[in-house]
Structure 1
């Protein structure tokens, strides 16, 4: 794993977030000041005590030589990382220059410069060697005590394992060079193919995966395009996968709610999306003003303009899901408090409404849409316990599982000894996958969690295979896909040993 930052002090929170057993290489633009060097030494010593290793001295870049991306590329070739961590390439503004009408960014420019160079280098490196590189960018201004999952500039992937119309499974994950896909064979004996890099624009290292009403997979991301004058254009894009294993459809631009100014547009948050009962696609993003903007596309392709919902100032954490019998729900974590807001629309012609009094207090990085219709999962900010809530519920329901970090994935309708159950997967202690279950529709009964397998480089995902078995997928620290299948007919919920693909 490579940490590429401007200086030693910038590496400290990234080192502190690394799990036991990580092999960490450090790359700095400069050696930093004495205080930063002492903080680095303390973080390294603490990481070594919990089992991390540092193979050598930090690599130093030479700013005077220019071409930081080229220097980082050469270093990546030398160390061959599967994971890369850096800082925010596009830190948000802290004020407005009223005279120039431009955002004021107080983050040291070197931090963003190194982060953007690291992303370019990692993309080039992956394209050359063919091995996926999983990237995480730590959000500027985040509390140094927060773990990585709680302050990523681009959301960690969830729901990335989908069942196609033919019953075969596909796994989609964001990497430095774009989206990679693993595809299940037509028989279990065939195994899986991949990772295959899917063609597309230059994407930032995040991905939203959504299964449409017709069973197709939809991938959403942020693309970055260099401008001829200066800066870069950032816009929301999506593509559809119509047949398992076949080429991805063309990437379509949804635009950017702040497209009139590239300086503002680069701060746009990561998209969340859902389809309503009529088949309309709704795409939500956090805009420059830290409220939410939404755009709608009909099944015939007609797209509305961006609509700013106003109201609550939100963080880069949104989830969306269809309402019954019509309309859409969206839940967003608040920017400045440990709370969330609920936005909803009864149908395409109705105005958006907002409710800030919902009993949802999410720990950063934990909001997700549940497999059960109309349900949201999150970790309670006060205890880190996994909870569920649905619109109209007066209180959330706790599911236990305070260990680990991040969001929770799962499936509903699993057969466990003849009972229909919801199976949940999440990151447990040290990133090891934890599995739990409860009867469908009865989360109040409680969940018994059990850890299984090795640490994963990404949050675990779950889906059904063509035989109705629950399949859990992770990615090993070596970058390989690992899969475990439910053993139907067993006493309780049991899975096969992990297989590597």
Structure 2
């Protein structure tokens, strides 16, 4: 192993089985922190040559990459310890590895189990990396983010399309008492920052919320009462030692107070451990009466939904058939107030919608829409039944408006989805404020009149970059607040300035926390 580094903490560590596995994750890196590649085995000359070419291409983009990959020569049963040793030396903020549960390529009908053709060491190293990053974060006490790159997904699709466990878009929310809280997944669990007082710049956090060993993704949803609900995936051992994955859910009732217990929502393929491990990441939505719908992409690449009534009782899993979908779902209240789900089609550049007219009605598949999203760009819009996305043909941001069709919001630079919040007062007008990632992680903000995206959006850079998608919310004083996570792992916020000057933000505040 290479010599220990001093200083330059907060970089990126790409931890993979062999040099060839690092090529696509490296292609996603932008200029910024130093990137180290850690391999469990030296690989073939062809793999090493491919990595050398990827490192040269990264350097041409302004990415700082260590000259030589680290080879840890991990023996079976010792991979976690060796990866942990590497992380202690490198001290990264972001750890990237491959999918710990890669997708099956076929089915063994006789044995009744999925067949995975990915080399077993890839999954073993990924699982060991997640465990090592979790332990490292608990040791160092600083945030450590981890991303799992989908095996075989080209980096040209962008970070969100390549992530097995997506980061939340709506991770800044206002609680019942008016204080804002930020929630982000980390290697060791969910991190939370909370305003100390309504509208103030002093925050507590980051606090590591207690809970199960979650996989590194998060869905953040608010119900009609203002309570915050967190959804994720956990990997657990069954009584016989077999690995299973299930959907879990916890509720935050009061800002800054203890998070409620995590409860299992189950898995639509919960009778088979191999199938359960391929479940997609959950998307969830509430209606006004408190009915909760949780959607996931199942093993067969259709959608499964499970509902919980206001009385707390869960339905069984229901499968919504008709179109095979990618692991990219957006749940939200529909035009009738009943939760619905949008999904990107797996085999076409299209998004389709399942909806119901009444809570007890039949699910209807609407596959005749005009939504053509680039992978990894779907997000919910505030208007019922609307979604935002980047148009697959031009990368520009669009919104699908019921009864109108697609409306362009401009912004063809950058990657990934757009977050937004409605009801922001700008010079006496109710407006929707949008945030997105621009080139090299820049945080860009735009706005349009509520319900009138056709009026156009002017995007501007607010002067910070973020290692996660930027978030926006309305604080307890009615002002728009934008949040990012810097390359040092610290939360940064900027708040809308009052007055008649339009949409103007105060200087950024770096949250000191506790």
1:110 pairs, out of 118, 121, 130, with 121
Aligned-pair distance for 1:394?
5.0
Q: Which whole-Å CA distance do the structure 2 matches of 1:291 and 1:89 have between them? A: 21
- Verify: 1:267 aligned to 2:309, yes or no: no
Answer whether contact 1:3 1:26 (CA < 8 A) is retained.
yes
Count of residue pairs the alignment pairs up: 500
Q: Which whole-Å CA distance do the structure 1 matches of 2:101 and 2:115 have between them? A: 12
1:20 pairs, out of 31, 44, 49, with 31
Q: Which whole-Å CA distance do the structure 1 matches of 2:238 and 2:261 have between them? A: 22
Answer whether contact 1:328 1:347 (CA < 8 A) is retained.
no
User: What are the superposed Cα offsets for residues 94-114 of structure 1, whole Å, 9 maximum, x if unpaired?
Assistant: 110010010011111111111
SS of the equivalent of 2:483 reads: strand
Aligned-pair distance for 1:34?
1.7
Q: Tell me which residue corresponds to 2:373.
A: 362
Runs of 5+ unmatched residues, structure 1 = none
Two-structure CA RMSD over aligned residues (Å): 1.4
Q: Tell me which residue corresponds to 2:484.
A: 474
1:336 pairs, out of 329, 343, 347, with 347
Moved more, 50-59 or 213-222: 50-59
Aligned-pair distance for 1:320?
1.1
Q: Tell me which residue corresponds to 1:99.
A: 110
Q: Tell me which residue corresponds to 2:238.
A: 227
User: What are the superposed Cα offsets for residues 159-212 of structure 1, whole Å, 9 maximum, x if unpaired?
Assistant: 000001111100000011110000011166660111100011110100000011
- Verify: 1:448 aligned to 2:461, yes or no: no
Answer whether contact 1:328 1:346 (CA < 8 A) is retained.
no
- Verify: 1:302 aligned to 2:284, yes or no: no
- Verify: 1:161 aligned to 2:150, yes or no: no
Answer whether contact 1:278 1:326 (CA < 8 A) is retained.
no
User: What are the superposed Cα offsets for residues 266-311 of structure 1, whole Å, 9 maximum, x if unpaired?
Assistant: 0000000001232100000000000000000011101100001111
2:59 pairs, out of 48, 55, 58, with 48
Q: Which whole-Å CA distance do the structure 1 matches of 2:187 and 2:373 have between them? A: 28
Aligned-pair distance for 1:351?
1.1
Answer whether contact 2:198 2:475 (CA < 8 A) is retained.
no
Q: Tell me which residue corresponds to 1:146.
A: 157
Answer whether contact 1:388 1:398 (CA < 8 A) is retained.
yes
Runs of 5+ unmatched residues, structure 2 = 1-11
Answer whether contact 1:372 1:412 (CA < 8 A) is retained.
no
Answer whether contact 2:38 2:70 (CA < 8 A) is retained.
yes
- Verify: 1:488 aligned to 2:498, yes or no: yes
SS of the equivalent of 1:238 reads: strand
Runs (4 or more) in structure 1 with deviation over 4 Å come to 187-190
Q: Which whole-Å CA distance do the structure 2 matches of 1:411 and 1:372 have between them? A: 11
Q: Which whole-Å CA distance do the structure 1 matches of 2:194 and 2:337 have between them? A: 34
Answer whether contact 2:171 2:182 (CA < 8 A) is retained.
yes
Q: Which whole-Å CA distance do the structure 2 matches of 1:104 and 1:221 have between them? A: 25
SS of the equivalent of 2:405 reads: coil
Moved more, 53-62 or 199-208: 53-62
User: What are the superposed Cα offsets for residues 129-151 of structure 1, whole Å, 9 maximum, x if unpaired?
Assistant: 11111111111221243222221
Answer whether contact 1:155 1:365 (CA < 8 A) is retained.
no
Q: Which whole-Å CA distance do the structure 2 matches of 1:425 and 1:442 have between them? A: 17
- Verify: 1:178 aligned to 2:208, yes or no: no
2:445 pairs, out of 435, 453, 458, with 435
Aligned-pair distance for 1:58?
1.6
Q: Which whole-Å CA distance do the structure 1 matches of 2:189 and 2:382 have between them? A: 26
Aligned-pair distance for 1:345?
1.2
Answer whether contact 1:415 1:488 (CA < 8 A) is retained.
no
| Distance verdict in 2 for CA 1:296–1:30, change over 3 Å | same
